[in-house]
Amino acid sequence: MTERPHRSTARTDPRVEAETAPVRPALRVVHESEGIDLAAAEAAAGQFLNALGISTASESLRGTPGRMARAYAELFSPRPFDLTTFPNDEGYDELVLARRIPVRTVCEHHLLPIVGTAHVGYLPGARILGLSKLARVVEHFACRPQVQERLTKQVADWLQAHLEPKGVGVVIEAEHACMTLRGVQATGSSTMTSTLLGLLRSDARTRSEFLGLTGATS
């Protein structure tokens, strides 16, 4: 993952600039990978299917290896974004919570889907965050082979480090196809994980408020 300052090229009136505080550059967040070779992935997908006794010779399956390759490339390619923050001029000190953020990732043990929702909240410090960026951070860490426990902690730790809030809370509830479609075949089961940092961990009232709003205590 590459994080670098991103400065706007827009020009403003020098008189206005003199009257305002310097603009804090947004952090450009880009996921670095070793590159995607779609042709090689398509060839490997075809070999994989053939090894499982699935012929790709028919018209309906001929394009399947390519579709598989493109689908996984999309799942493993988070979109870059700017971590836009703003001064907390009003001194807002209550919980900010984005609920039911869609989560889609794949289990790193079976490469089967994990689908669910994330609830991400924080107690503002000196700066507040553009709300859509909470969903962007979830997507950023979800677009790779994952385990839910790690994903939950990565989102919380990253926000704590880059936003410097008074506390962060992340709750993820998801269904794992590796549990529901194979093995134990526990249809309808879901897994819930949480990470609480700062005051959301140490202050009982704040922790209870966060968990109650996410439904984790119901």
- Candidates 139, 160, 173, 176; catalytic one: 176
- Which residue is associated with the tokens 């790709």? 56
Q: What is the mean pLDDT of the chain?
A: 88
Active site residue 164: no
- Residue scoring higher pLDDT (9 or 42): 42
Active site residue 6: no
Tokens, residue 39: 């042709």
- Alpha-carbon distance of 52 to 128, in angstroms, equals 51
Active site residue 108: yes
**54, 3 Cβ separation under 8 angstroms:** no
Other Cβ atoms less than 10 A from the Cβ of 85: the count is: 19
Active site residue 178: yes
Angle between helices 38-51 and 64-75 (to 10 degrees): 120
Tens digits of residue pLDDT in 116-172: 999 999 999 999 999 999 999 999 999 999 999 999 999 999 999 999 999 999 999
For 24, phi then psi, to 5°, come to -75, 125
Single-letter amino acid, residue 194 = S
Tens digits of residue pLDDT in 177-201: 999 998 888 888 899 999 999 999 9
- Candidates 6, 31, 162, 178; catalytic one: 178
- Candidates 110, 162, 175, 209; catalytic one: 110
Active site residue 109: yes
- Local structure of residue 167 (DSSP, 8 states): E
- Candidates 6, 107, 175, 209; catalytic one: 107
Active site residue 32: no
For 170, phi then psi, to 5°, come to -135, 125
- Local structure of residue 206 (DSSP, 8 states): H
- Alpha-carbon distance of 13 to 49, in angstroms, equals 62
pTM for this model (two decimals): 0.84
For 216, phi then psi, to 5°, come to -70, -20
- Candidates 3, 74, 109, 149; catalytic one: 109
Active site residue 143: no
- Candidates 119, 140, 148, 173; catalytic one: 148
- pLDDT value of position 22: 60
- Candidates 17, 74, 108, 149; catalytic one: 108
Tokens, residue 216: 């984790």
Which bin fits 158, alpha (ψ -120 to 50), beta or left (φ > 0)? alpha
- pLDDT value of position 20: 54
- Residue scoring higher pLDDT (42 or 79): 42
